[in-house]
Structure 1
Amino acid sequence: MVDAVAIDDEAVIAEVASAFGCYEEALMKYDPVALDGWFWRDERAIRYGIAENLYGHDAIAAYRRTRNAVPGRVLRNTKITAIGRDAAAVNTEFQYPGDERVGRQSQIWARMPEGWRVVAAHVSFREEFER
């Protein structure tokens, strides 16, 4: 069980914030090799995207190689929750220039021997519906 004191450890949040910043930089520069490096190299890594469900590092890497650069985006409401010393959740909203939709991105990061890696990710858009 995670002790309440271990939630939101400032050092862990700083480490994950740095890793997340490097991931975001690689995404904006569209560096698929760097992006691949941020995902856990394991068949259990998962990425649910806007229109795809990817299972395993190899599938995620192959998908990245078929994509083009994403338009610059603005992040907001980025929240990092450290869970013990070796795991964290990163949640953020994003918006692309000229697109009124609000995107959402969630990532679970884990400390691996090689450093912090994304073990699961989910990207979606919040669609506005009138009821």
Structure 2
Amino acid sequence: MTIEINKPEVVAQVKAAFTIYEQALIENDVSTMNMLFWNAPETVRYGIADIQHGGEAICEWRANAQPVSPQRQLHRTIITTYGTDFATVSTEFSNDAEMSTRGRQMQTWARLGSVSDVGNGWKVVAAHVSLVQQN
């Protein structure tokens, strides 16, 4: 079986969904962020100081989570698609106000919804966020 890696139109779809997610994150648009995560028991999110298992737990956490800094900037974002329905997005982020740390964010995306959904059917099925000290 041969899987096409980084088919341009699939990369563009995932990039568009990721961009919508990042904009929602900056604007603290909880509804859009929740729509872009797969609302299923199998969804996992490991945050900087928190862990959620399942879409319900993610929605509950997000309802009370502190918004990210509007100065958030992304660095070295890498989108890799595998076939037409699976992708990873890896990125680093920083906040101009706090340059002593750099964040890392990885998301696994799968096409599980309808093309009429926010994100064209793409959903985050797993996510991990962490911080590292900068020298």
Same fold by TM-score greater than 0.5: yes
**Structure 1 consecutive aligned stretches of length 4 or more whose deviation exceeds 3 Å:** none
Q: 1: distance between equivalents of 2:131 and 2:10?
A: 28
Q: Where does structure 2 lack aligned partners over 5 or more consecutive residues?
A: 115-120
Partner of 1:13: 11
Q: Which amino acid aligns with 1:110?
A: A
Partner of 1:118: 124
Partner of 2:80: 81
Question: Residue 84 of structure 1: CA displacement?
Answer: 1.0
Partner of 2:106: 106
Question: With structure 1 as the length reference, what TM-score do the two structures score?
Answer: 0.92
Question: Residue 99 of structure 1: CA displacement?
Answer: 1.1
Q: Which amino acid aligns with 1:105?
A: Q
Q: Which amino acid aligns with 1:93?
A: E
Question: With structure 2 as the length reference, what TM-score do the two structures score?
Answer: 0.90
Question: Residue 48 of structure 1: CA displacement?
Answer: 0.2
1:58-79 CA distances to partner (integer Å, 9 max, x unpaired)?
Answer: 0000000111321120001000
Question: Residue 128 of structure 1: CA displacement?
Answer: 4.7
Q: Where does structure 1 lack aligned partners over 5 or more consecutive residues?
A: none
Choose the corresponding residue for 1:49, options 47, 50, 55. Answer: 47
How many residues get paired?
127
Partner of 1:26: 24
Q: Which amino acid aligns with 1:104?
A: R
1:16-65 CA distances to partner (integer Å, 9 max, x unpaired)?
Answer: 00000000010000011111000001010010000011100000000001
**What is the root-mean-square deviation of aligned Cα atoms in Å?**
1.3
Q: Percent identity?
A: 41
Q: 2: distance between equivalents of 1:106 and 1:113?
A: 20
Q: 2: distance between equivalents of 1:76 and 1:113?
A: 28
Q: 2: distance between equivalents of 1:102 and 1:128?
A: 6
Partner of 2:66: 68
